[in-house]
């Protein structure tokens, strides 16, 4: 039974975001670091700011030592259900809207590129015809 990891959902883990109740998600695992807040060499603020999200990148960016990684085991409380973690960063869709208004002038310019020479030609012919008659 002891080897059965508890699977937690993101919604629940994210609620533990206070100094006196702080859970972190790192590499698919959930840690209750509440007893570690005062002792963390990086301070409690960074731990708090790493709550409510997948803190794997934050944790790895610091380049934590092996002893820090061993320490984590003490605070391990379960696995995170990855399907409940909201995606970050990956989805910032490029704004499509500005492209559409751009297409109208482009289209107009293309039509004008045809029409303007035709109009000049027509005008020239008209002038010539008119002056010939005179
Ligand atoms: C259970 C999780 C964590 C444990 C056990 C832990 C442990 C440690 C330890 C032992 C150190 C000292 C340096 C080292 O040995 O690498 C450290 C430093 C540090 N930690 Fe963590 N840490 C955890 C999570 C985090 C998270 C999520 C962040 C978020 C950014 C963070 C930010 C930092 C920073 C910025 C330092 C550098 C402090 C300095 O050298 O000025 N830690 N941590």
**In terms of domains, do 80 and 101 share one?**
no
**In terms of domains, do 26 and 72 share one?**
yes
Q: Does the pLDDT of residue 1 top 50, yes or no?
A: no
Nearest residue (by CA) to ligand 1, atom 25, is 59
Compute the CA torsion angle 7, 11, 12, 17 (nearest 10 deg). 120
Range of the domain at 22: 7-84
Other beta carbons within 10 angstroms of residue 8's beta carbon come to 19
Q: Does the pLDDT of residue 110 top 80, yes or no?
A: yes
CB 17 within 8 A of CB 44: no
Would 1 be classed as within a structural domain? no
Confirm or reject: Cβ of 33 under 6 Å from ligand 1: yes
**In terms of domains, do 75 and 49 share one?**
yes
CA of 68 to the centre of ligand 1 (A): 7
Question: What percentage of the chain carries pLDDT values higher than 70?
Answer: 87
Question: What percentage of the chain carries pLDDT values higher than 90?
Answer: 74
CB 47 within 8 A of CB 71: no
Alpha-carbon distance of 86 to 52, in angstroms, equals: 10
**In terms of domains, do 67 and 24 share one?**
yes
| pLDDT tens digit sequence for 28-75 | 999 999 999 999 999 999 999 999 999 999 999 999 999 999 999 999
How many structural domains are present in the chain? 2
Would 68 be classed as within a structural domain? yes
**In terms of domains, do 99 and 50 share one?**
no
Confirm or reject: Cβ of 37 under 6 Å from ligand 1: no
**In terms of domains, do 77 and 38 share one?**
yes
**In terms of domains, do 125 and 101 share one?**
yes
Would 124 be classed as within a structural domain? yes
pLDDT at 22: 97
**In terms of domains, do 69 and 112 share one?**
no
Would 122 be classed as within a structural domain? yes
**In terms of domains, do 99 and 67 share one?**
no
pTM above 0.85, yes or no: no
Confirm or reject: Cβ of 62 under 6 Å from ligand 1: yes
Q: What is the CATH number of the domain that holds 47?
A: 3.10.120.10
> Which of 17, 55, 64 most suits a substitution to test ligand 1, by most atoms within 8 Å of the C-beta?
64
């Amino acid at each position: 039974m002891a080897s059965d990891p508890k699977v937690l959902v993101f919604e629940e883990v994210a609620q533990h975001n206070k100094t006196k109740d702080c859970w972190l998600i790192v590499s698919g695992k959930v840690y209750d670091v509440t007893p570690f807040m005062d002792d963390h060499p990086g301070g409690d603020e960074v731990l708090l700011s790493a709550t409510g999200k997948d803190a794997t990148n934050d944790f790895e960016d610091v380049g934590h030592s092996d002893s820090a990684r061993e320490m984590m085991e003490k605070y391990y409380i379960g696995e995170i259900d990855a399907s409940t973690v909201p995606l970050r960063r990956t989805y910032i869709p490029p704004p499509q809207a500005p492209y559409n208004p751009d297409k109208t002038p482009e289209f107009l310019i293309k039509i004008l590129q045809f029409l303007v020479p035709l109009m000049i030609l027509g005008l020239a012919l008209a002038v010539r015809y008119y002056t010939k008659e005179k």
